[in-house]
Structure formats: structure tokens, C-alpha cells
Structure 1
Amino acid sequence: MIRSATINDSEMIAALLTQLGYPNTQNFIQERITSLLEHPDAMLLVYEKEEKILALLSLHVIPQIALLGSFLRISYFVVDEQARSHHIGTELEAYATHIAQEKKCDRIEVHCHERRKDAHRFYAKHGYIESPKYFIKPLL
């Protein structure tokens, strides 16, 4: 079942983020979840089966000024290592696509680190096209 995350999911979300390569979120995860749940253009979703959270999907709708539609950004997307290859990712990606269409978005964007080769294959299989330039400016 796909549902909105809650504060009560913080421990499981932190565990999934650790699998994604973001350890040590326990000290601030509840604050971040609260912030995302209150943000009007953000969605924080989990995939739950038998009262266990198996996946996390964080989405943001971003309005554009030069084009008619907004775009949907996948900010974080992780399926528990023990639950991969069970089509949970496919189900969540389809859900994200539905949300994007519902919100009149003209595309979905996702930044996926170069080291995540399995994720690259997943996105390509679902119709995503690589756009190789991505710049960041670290502030901390």
C-alpha cells in the first residue's frame, strides 16, 4: 500500500535513507518529515506491506516560468534491499507518474548519482532519458 508518511515512520525512513547512502539522519529526521508534510508542493510517500515500510518516495512539484507545465522532481527514492525485484519500485514510479499527470506536470526529473548503476537501468526501463549536466554548489 502506498500512503503518506507520518512522524511515526521516522525510524524506518532513517533506515531506508541509510541504505541509500545517507546514514545518521536519526537526529533530525522527524523535523525533516514534519517540514515535508507541511510543504504544499511536497509529498513524502511510503510503501507499506504487513505494517513494514519497504520503500520511500519523496516528490516535489516545481512550477516553471518559461513553460506551461510544472515538473515533478523525485528527490529521494529507495526500496529496501530485501524487497527489491518485487516490482515495488515500478509501482511507486507509476504512482509518481500519475501524480505528475494529475498536477499537469510536463516531465519528471530525478538526480541519480553516477554510482547507482541499478537505479540507472531502472529509470531507463521506465522511459527516463539521461540529461548529463548537473551542477551543485555546496554551502556547508
Structure 2
Amino acid sequence: MIIRLANTQDSFALSALLTELGYGNTESFIARRLAQLMDDRAEQLLIAEQGSTVLGFLSLHFIPQLALAGDFARVSYFCIAEGKRSEGAGQQLLAHAEKLAKAHGCDRMEVHCHEHRVKANAFYAREGYQESPRYLIKTLADL
């Protein structure tokens, strides 16, 4: 397995993996979003690949902190393809992301994972992630 940065040819595979996560209908905008993320210096969109098969991806953001000495990294999307889970690809991809974060001056990682994703939350717990205080969201569509 290799881990590499995403490229424009990954649009179809990313869209399929996002569908597995419950984010359907991304085909119409995935190429635009992929290009946007690839141009963002604070983002690393990682692809886990075996041969020519995309096994999964991880979207990692580096976030500077004003009041703390170290920065933090956030995993915003992370998916290993159904049928390829529990084979070590997720652990390798997450470990790679953690090393990148540390190299970028981050001293901690965070991931937001909805409580209904029971297996994903168990995976993160096995990897040493702990629950943190509340996370609040406001939808801006009505403004």
C-alpha cells in the first residue's frame, strides 16, 4: 500500500467513498472541491492506494492556534472502502496523517465523528483518541 496526495484523477473514487459515508450526489461538484483542496496549503488530502485501487482517503487540515504554543490538525473526512476495512489500511493512513501533523508543528489531532458511526468511533478509541468537550454547530443557510 502507498499513501500519496490526491490528484484530479481521484474524483470518481473520492465520490464513491463519500457515498459510502452517506454523502451522495457529490459527482456534480467533486472535481471543483478536489481542485480547491489541492490548492489549499493548510490541507493535505491523502489517498491510500494498492496497485491502481484506491482503498481510502483522509482529509487533513492544519489549524494555527493563537493562545497555544502548538497548532492542531483536524481530520474532516476519512474513509476506507467497504470490504477493505479491518485490514490495516486505516491505521496506516491515520498514522501517516499524525506524522504529517507533527511535522507541521501540530501537537494534537482532532476528528469529528458522529455518534451513529459506532465502528468508526471504536476505531478512533483503539487509536488513542478521546472524547473532548461539546462541539456546537450553527447552520448558516437561513442568514
**TM-score of the pair, normalised by structure 2:** 0.95
Q: Within 2, Cα distance between the matches of 1:16 and 1:110?
A: 18
| 1:132 Cα offset (Å) | 4.4
Q: Which residues in structure 2 correspond to 1:77-116 (within 5 Å)?
A: 77-116=78-117
In terms of fraction of residues, the more helix-rich structure is 1
The verdict on how the C-alpha distance between 1:41 and 1:69 changes in structure 2, with shifts beyond 3 A counting, is same
Report what 1:53 is aligned to. 54
- Partner amino acid, structure 1, of 2:62: V
Partner of 1:133: 134
Runs (5+) with no aligned partner, structure 2? none
Which amino acid counterpart does residue 122 of structure 1 have in structure 2? F
State the AA in 2 paired with 1:29.
Answer: I
Change (3 A) 1:128 1:121: same
Query: Which amino acid in 2 is paired with 1:23?
Result: G
For residue 102 of structure 1, report the CA deviation from its aligned partner: 0.7
Q: Which runs of structure 2 are paired with 1:7-26 in the superposition (5 Å)?
A: 7-26=8-27
Distance (Å, rounded) in 1 between the aligned partners of 2:17 and 2:140: 25
Aligned residue identity for 2:46: L
Distance between the aligned counterparts of 2:29 and 2:9, measured in 1? 14
- RMSD of aligned residue pairs (Cα, Å): 0.8
Q: Provide the rounded CA distance (Å) in 1 between the counterparts of 2:47 and 2:28.
A: 20
Percent identity of equivalent pairs = 49
CA distance in structure 2 between the partners assigned to 1:26 and 1:8 by the alignment: 13
Offset at residue 131 of structure 1 (A): 1.3
Q: Using the alignment, how far apart are the partners of 1:104 and 1:85 within structure 2?
A: 30
How many matched pairs? 140
Query: Amino acid of the residue matched to residue 80 of structure 1?
Result: A
Stretches of 4+ aligned residues off by more than 6 angstroms:
none
